[in-house]
Amino acid sequence: MVFTDFELEYLRSQRLGRLATLSPRGTLQNSPVGFQVDEEAGVIAIWGRDMGNTRKFHNVAANGQAAFVVDDLVSVSPWVVRGLEIRGSAEALSGQTPPNGYWSAEVIRIHPRRIITWGVGPEGMRASRAVPAD
């Protein structure tokens, strides 16, 4: 399994993340996105209404790179944050069956190669680990 039980619990509790992609010209794009965790495949799936026509989809199709962050603010006083960053390869797929009729048939799938967490798990631990390639 790619994700730990603590990471899965946290990801299931969140609805939005931020996807960073790199354009062919070397500029960065950071987009707020909804997401799903495909626990069996060990990937993050990002669907959208017209995903195939977005810059993020074309960026991933061009170079297969992405980073994804999910975080939230638990408390202001005391200051408590938690989150998870996934760095890895990504693929832009067309002709997929979306989970609902609102989304188009394109999806970005992120394959974790490094997972960094803070405030997730016992006592708000911090962790960084490489994910072995299949």
Contact call for residues 33 and 48 (beta carbons, < 8 A):
yes
Distance CA 77, CA 86 (A): 28
Q: CATH says 5-130 is which class?
A: mainly beta
For the chain, give the mean pLDDT: 93
The vertex-44 CA angle with 70 and 67, nearest 5°, equals 55
pLDDT for the residue 126? 80
Distance CA 131, CA 112 (A): 6
Encoding tokens for residue 10? 């946290």
User: DSSP for 67-122?
Assistant: EEEEEEEEETTTTEEEEEEEEEEEEEE-S---SSTTS-S-EEEEEEEEEEEES-SG
**133, pLDDT greater than 80:** no
Indicate the domain borders of the chain.
Answer: 5-130
**132, pLDDT greater than 80:** no
What are the two backbone dihedrals, phi and then psi, of residue 49, each rounded to the nearest 5 degrees? -65, -40
